[in-house]
Amino acid sequence: MFREMAPQDVQLFPIEVEGQPEPYHLLVVTRKIRCIDDKACKEARRFTLETGRPERVGEYQVVSGLRIDKSKVEDARVFKLWGWRPALIVDGEIKMALEEAGSVGGYFEEV
């Protein structure tokens, strides 16, 4: 599904899972976009020199009520957020395709 719907955004590598006969793939999301809308989020706080993580200065320490600036996304259908590692963003069509396929282990929230 990702290969068909978002080939420019992902790489898929076939892997074997011990004890599992069906094929599996490792999904690598290749796009990272700087598009968090700090003002629209409930809270968006960045690391500073004072927080004691100099290697992460400018990245997000806390994000709640995540909102993105969709004008910065352009043609990306699957991407990670610059500076905030936990989230993986997919567009609405991929969300619907994943739900229809019965995918488990994730949840969707409009951002």
Chunk the chain into consecutive blocks of 10 residues (it has 111) and report each block's average pLDDT, rounded to whole numbers.
95 95 93 97 96 90 96 96 93 94 88 95
Q: What is the pLDDT of residue 75?
A: 95
What is the model's pLDDT at position 86?
87
In a domain, 110, yes or no: no
Is residue 105 one of the residues assigned to a domain? no
- What pLDDT shows up at residue 51? 87
Q: Which two tokens stand for residue 106?
A: 């994730």
Residue type, 77: R
| pLDDT value for 84 | 95
Which pLDDT score, from 0 to 100, does residue 52 have?
80
Residue 110: what are its φ and ψ, rounded to 5°? -65, 135
Range of 42's domain?
2-100
* C-alpha to C-alpha distances, 69 to 11, 39, 58, nearest whole angstrom: 25, 10, 18
DSSP SS3 for 107? coil
Task: State the pTM of this model.
Answer: 0.87
> Is 111 contained in some domain?
no
Structural domains of the chain, count: 1
- The answer to whether residue 106 is domain-embedded is no
CA neighbours within 13 Å on the CB side: how many for 67? 10
